[in-house]
Chain A
Amino acid sequence: MIGLNHFLTLSTILFCIGIFGVLTRRNAIGILMSIELMFNAVNINFVAFSRFVTPTALVGQIFAIFIITIAAAEATVGLAIVLLIYRNFKGINVDNINIMKW
């Protein structure tokens, strides 16, 4: 019996993995990837709710589409900035990107 909670659990786990990635990856692209994992987790939520709570309305699915789209947009900009960082800092290791502090 796979119910809603199974999917929610899965998504939560994925979400937390994403968070862990954000917290620990040193590579900027790695962090971006982790963020994508978080978006995916959210999407699982939406789709699962859509399936179990509002099977006839497709709101959840539509939401997921939008999230995917925007994730793509964000990834684009993100990667552009990463490239910029790479040019300036000669590396994309976020540990070293800390001119500004305190």
Chain B
Amino acid sequence: MLTGVSEAVYYILAAIIIGSGVMVVSMKNIFHSALFLVLCFFGVAGIYILLSAEFIAAVQVLIYVGAITILMIFAIMLTARLYSAQIKQSNEQVVPGLIIVSALLVITIFALSKTTWKLSSQAPETQTVAEIGKLLMTTYVLPFEIVSVVLLSALIGAIVIARRD
């Protein structure tokens, strides 16, 4: 349970995340969207810290903000003619999309709130970094190895695809 300051932080972060998320999907300019995406990722990283997952927050910032977003921005620069971004950025599905999404949202939140979770009152692990490292090398060594293969194949694939012949 978080109280006090944390509570306020939570709301601020939530506002940032939701606000920037909405911006991401609705900005006319794709480049601006990308910037809001960065903001959103930061917000999420804040949430992780709030949840005492500092290591994840760090990873979030490094990989998402540092890698993915930058990559996207590059891609945007490569593909879009930036300032002719007056063309509509959303399609005709806005209204039906809204309906579907809000329906999904309502149902899901309703369902989740109706569920009793088996909460634990133990204090969270503090030595997360070391512990995670250990787990990755022991219990989770198999997915860890596999994920490395995933990265390898993504790398090769991306090169193969993106390179001009």
> Does a CB–CB distance below 8 Å link A and B in the complex?
yes
Contact with A along B66-88 (1 / 0, CB 8 A): 01100110111011100000011
Question: Cβ of B64 and Cβ of A61 under 8 Å apart?
Answer: no
In whole angstroms, how far apart are the Cα atoms of A8 and B131 in the complex?
25
User: Chain A, interface size: which category?
Assistant: 35 or more
Q: Distance (Å) between the CB of A88 and the closest chain B CB?
A: 11
The answer to whether A37 touches B24, judged by C-beta atoms less than 8 angstroms apart, is yes
Within 8 Å CB of B2, what residues of A?
A: 1-3
**Nearest B residue to A8 by beta-carbon distance?**
B112
Nearest-Cβ distance from residue B136 to partner chain A, whole angstroms: 7
Q: Which of A12, A26, A64, A84 contacts B105 (CB 8 A)?
A: A12
Given A14-B21, A29-B72, A76-B154, do A24 and B91 touch, yes or no (CB 8 Å)? yes
**Most chain A beta carbons < 10 A, residue from B118, B136, B140, B161:** B161
Which of B80, B108, B159 contacts A92, CB < 8 Å?
B80
A65, B104: Cβ atoms closer than 8 Å? no
Report how many A-B pairs have Cβ atoms within 8 Å: 244
Other than the given A40-B40, A65-B132, 14 more pairs (CB < 8 A) read: A2-B10, A8-B109, A16-B108, A29-B34, A36-B64, A47-B53, A50-B53, A56-B120, A64-B53, A64-B59, A71-B64, A77-B158, A79-B72, A83-B79
Smallest distance from the beta carbon of A42 to chain B beta carbons, Å? 11
Taking each of B10, B68, B91, which has the highest tally of chain A beta carbons within 10 Å of its own beta carbon?
B68
Closest chain-A Cβ to B165's Cβ sits at a distance in Å of 10
**Residues of chain A contacted by B52 (CB below 8 angstroms):** 51
Which residues of chain A come closer than 8 Å to B101, judged between CB atoms?
Answer: 16-17, 19-20, 23
Report how far A24 CA is from B33 CA in the complex, Å. 14
Say yes or no: B25 contacts A17, CB within 8 Å: yes
**Contact in complex: A95, B91 (CB < 8 Å):** yes
Q: Does A97 belong to the interface (CB within 8 Å)? A: no
| A30 cross-chain contacts in B, Cβ below 8 A | 24-25, 30, 33, 89
Q: Which of A7, A20, A84 contacts B47 (CB 8 A)?
A: A7
The 8 Å CB contact of B37, one of A36, A49, A76, A91, is A36
Q: Which of B15-73 contact A (CB under 8 A)?
A: 17-18, 21-22, 24-25, 30, 33-34, 37, 40-41, 44, 47-48, 51-53, 55-56, 59-60, 63-64, 67-68, 71-72
